[in-house]
Amino acid sequence: MRGDGDGWVIDPDGSRYWGVHGAAGLLLRAPLDGGATGILLQHRAVWSHQGGTWGLPGGARDSHESAIDTAVREADEEAGVRADQLTVVAALVTHQSPSGWTYTTVIADTSEPVRTVANGESAELRWVGEHDVDTLPLHPGFGQAWPGLRERIARLDLQA
């Protein structure tokens, strides 16, 4: 289904970003056996932008959507994760380009590693231990954001 947010934003330096109204993705966390925290990651299909890398289910924002709405919709479309399976705990802009394009990471929790169903944008979906995320070849934007996201997650865990 094509939304009004589908399309490229191109910065003056030639950098390209998907989503004419910005983009958002869902960082979904769940407890794993042994007490670790799992993060749901998407191995991006090779045909997609930055294909072959690992990142979060996410995509273009439509003009009528909040970043949270976008992240939850995209997680459903790309991973089969329904809104009633998660609780949103935070949303933060993790990238802003010179043109004003933004990517918002929405952090959410679920009580267990929910079953996922990949669509054509995913080569694989996998629950990865939080401490193992950076051992994978990460999408460049997610790789840059991951250290700050881990700090934010740690602060959220302290508040719980």
Residue 37 domain-assigned? yes
Range of the domain at 97: 8-159
Residue 45: predicted pLDDT? 73
CATH number of residue 90's parent domain: 3.90.79.10
User: pLDDT by residue for the chain (160 residues), tens digit each?
Assistant: 568 999 999 999 999 888 899 999 999 999 999 889 999 999 987 667 776 799 999 999 999 999 999 999 999 999 999 999 999 999 999 999 999 999 999 999 999 999 999 888 888 999 999 999 999 999 999 999 999 999 999 888 777 6
What's the DSSP call for residue 61?
P
Indicate whether this model's pTM tops 0.85: yes
Residue 96 domain-assigned? yes
Residue 51: predicted pLDDT? 65
Helices then strands (H, E): number in the chain?
2, 9
Residue 1 domain-assigned? no
Into how many domains does the chain fold? Answer: 1
Residue 3 domain-assigned? no
Residue 15 domain-assigned? yes
In terms of DSSP bridges, do strands 102-109 and 23-31 run parallel, antiparallel, or are they unpaired?
parallel
Residue 118: predicted pLDDT? 87
In terms of DSSP bridges, do strands 87-96 and 37-44 run parallel, antiparallel, or are they unpaired?
unpaired
